[in-house]
Chains A and B, each alone.
Chain A
Amino acid sequence: MSATTVVTVSWRRQARDPYFIAGISIYLAFLLIAVFADQIAPNAPKDILFLDNGSLANALPPSAQFPLGTTTSGCDIFSQLVHGSQSALIVGISAAFVVVSVGTLVGLLAGYFGGFVDAALMRIADIALGIPLLPFVIVLAAFLGPTTWNVVLAMSLLLWPNSARIIRAQVLSLRERAYIEAARTAGSGHFRILFHHIAPNILPLALLFGSIAIGWAILTEASVSFLGFADPDTTTWGFMLQDAYVSQALSRGLYNWFVPPGICIVLMVSAGFFISRSYEQFLFPRLRD
């Protein structure tokens, strides 16, 4: 079976899976919102708004002007939510991209070359697995200043080993397959075998980790925001929840503030889980029926 067929078959089966459809639809919807955020959102996310009579537009209930009402400091909740999808996608995708790239590369190299390379890389993986993620992000945020990129950086440094280990195991089994043997006897170099013959087969597995990592990044960012180490310059859903929390939105019954960002996070993160689940079904077909 050649690499291309694996991917194509994967796609065809995926396209019919309801989990996959749900996940992809959610992603696409948020992507659209993020791209057209400036058109959709009536206000800048952090603008402090005043009513026509000059008074601060704070803690207003949902209305035509403010579809989800305003925060206690006079910001438009709907606009924040819309802009939040941008940061969620940026953080999620960049973290996922780095985590999966590093994980795949390490997995490929360790699995294919084995021996010393394998041992060294796996020890580094053990070290990264020994450092707790959330505390690490908090410490980074405190020292390097509170920016969203700390989440991406910390995830990149700590979360690749999970994917690397599984991909390594997969490469170990692929390495012995007949068509790889054939390529090797035909005189293909290591580089060609790795990236032309093996890597494409790893792709679905990498995407599986990628879709989970997007969710992790968003959840981690939300936790870090909640603990007060949020990036003041960006509007994330985590920031919104934290803002609502420090303003005691729940006690005041401002559910229009406290609930929507939570739902957005759940949707976005579950979308990743849904997609990963449908990949699992493909990757481990025995589970299917």
Chain B
Amino acid sequence: MKPLQPTRRAVLGGALALASTAARAEAGDAIRPLVLICKPQATDPAQYQAAQLCMQEWRKLGLKVTLQVLPATQQSSVVWLNRTKWDMTTWEMVGRPERSDPDELVYSLFHSSLAQNGYDFVGYKSPEYDKLAEAQRAEEERDKRAVLVKQAQMLIKKDQPYVYLVYPRRSMAFNAEVWDPATVVEEAGIGIRNFWTFLQAKPLGAKKDMVLNSPQPISNLQPVHMDAIGSWVSDLIWDHLMRVDIHGNPVPWAAESVRWVDPVTVEAVIRDGMKFHDDTPVTLEDIQYSFQLPANKNKTPQFYPNVANIDQVTITGPHTVTFKLKTPQASFFTSTLSKIAIVPKHVWQPIVEKLANTSQLVEDYNEPKMIGSGPFKFVHWRDPEEVMLTRFEGHWQPPKLENWILRTVSNQEATLGMLRNDEINFLAIFTGDPQNVADLAKQEPKIKVVTTTDLGFQFIAMNERRAPFDDPAFRMALSEAINRKIMAAAAWNGYAEPAGSCVSTALPFWHAPDSLLMGGDIGKSKKILADAGYTLSGGQLHYPAGRKEEITAG
């Protein structure tokens, strides 16, 4: 039976309703126009294009979808702080080295305890999922843990809380006449812009300074502050007990060795003879203090979650520090020991005391000397022009390059020009079309490009707190409508891989290949909707029988 036009139905009235089958007789209300939030095209052209493509498809299902363009910060503010006020939004989880352990994303994005005001911003709740997420967190054995992580991904495939789109592929480049290509290494999911490259890169000729680019200025360089780009720099100035290696695994670094004594005890043997940039030795008290500094939730809210599970840090030998955890945490090496910066107690203790009775946060304090014990020491920060670091000879593994200079270049087109003209010799990030970098390398043989599939992923989040997104069938229908292959080609110009889970293909050990829903079949979407009781009337999609539209559009 064809859906009737509303006017005719009104005329025919109740007689027809009685005649038709019970299920079809009373369609629910028409679904309100849905609003998709997106950043301005200038900020993220690929995401913007993706949103346009999705809307084109969803309209074919009889949905009215409108785009609401908000500046990035307003978008975050609406999505994170007004959790009942939005329908859908484009979003991305960025790849950070510590995310090479799947725990952070697998647990935080979908665990029901974080739906209220944590990372589960879409409000997905599933007791079954919670169990899996908790189990993988406690499982010490890597292989067994991988099975649990994959099960979690498959459950998400069934429930589709997100419309996963792609894992972007990012291009970075360097000047192979300046840097020995053999010493520039690619880190899984991160690319060639990583600690190991900066440490090992060998200058081939007289030019020994690495000059890199950043599209935006750095807001903060402090060791207890997280900043998208500032973290590249602070990671070099301040050392960590462990570091994530190029395969994504945590390896001992400032610690000689690290081992699990039992599920809640970790013992680290600290390397001997390390020095801070002010020539003072790195003591066990400094190490202990480094993990206590971020433990004050009100003074260092950003890093607090990374140490929240530590019950106690004690010095248990001439070179040994022991960590007692509150609960078992399989990701502890990656998310805590590789993340927390070793800071000099003699510098930070007075600062903490000074700020104790003020409203100023410790993480906001700008300590001008920036003393760490990492392989690079701080020279100057001329904001918004450049940050300059230099090799620290006193480090046990000093870098081969001389100076490390990060330039702020707001004009992406000029960034490529600079790479060509040797004004920069390392393209650390490129927010434009990666094809341009590839083209440049073709014209200029000295430029070597390395393209890496990102740890992060791009998706459209649906607010499960609001109908019709509370219905898994509806979410599945939206997801099925999107062809990820076309998405990768048309929005990311081919520089992306279809995505199906929060664990990127860059992490083959943890990634579940079957989690991918390729999509692109509108017929299938329509069928899912029809089976779930949704009806089309006057070209507009209606809720299943008995469901009212309770939210006003807009």
Contact = CB atoms under 8 A, between A and B. Distances in A.
B432 A242 contact: no
Interface residues of B, number: 29
Interface in B153-201: none
Contacts of B141: none
Nearest to B66: A233
Q: Which one of B41, B53, B417, B432 has the greatest number of beta carbons of chain A within 10 Å? A: B41
Given A232-B41, A232-B67, A250 B52 contact: no
Interface string A37-49: 0000000001010
A228 B40 contact: yes
Contact of A74 (B67, B71, B417, B490): B490
A246 B40 contact: no
Contacts of B412: 246, 248
Nearest to B41: A232
A73 B489 CA distance: 10
B41 A247 contact: no
Interface in B432-490: 432-433, 435-436, 439-440, 486, 489-490
A251 B413 contact: yes
A245 interface: yes
Interface residues of A, number: 25
A90 interface: no
A55 interface: yes
B53 A246 contact: no
B163 to A, nearest CB: 18
Given A72-B493, A142-B71, A246 B49 contact: no
Contact of B490 (A56, A228, A229, A248): A56
Contacts, number: 66
A15 to B, nearest CB: 44
B71 A73 contact: no
Contacts of A55: 489
B416 A251 contact: yes
Contacts of B440: 251
A98 B70 CA distance: 28
A146 B75 CA distance: 13
B56 interface: yes
A101 B220 CA distance: 49
Interface of A: 46, 48, 55-56, 58, 72-74, 142, 145-146, 227-230, 232, 242-243, 245-248, 250-252
The 7 closest A-B pairs by CB, nearest first: A228-B42, A56-B490, A232-B69, A248-B436, A248-B413, A248-B432, A73-B49
Interface of B: 40-43, 45, 48-49, 52-53, 56, 67, 69-71, 412-413, 416-417, 432-433, 435-436, 439-440, 486, 489-491, 493
Given A48-B53, A246-B412, 16 more contacts: A46-B52, A48-B52, A58-B490, A72-B433, A73-B49, A145-B69, A228-B43, A232-B67, A242-B42, A243-B41, A246-B41, A247-B432, A247-B433, A250-B413, A251-B417, A252-B435
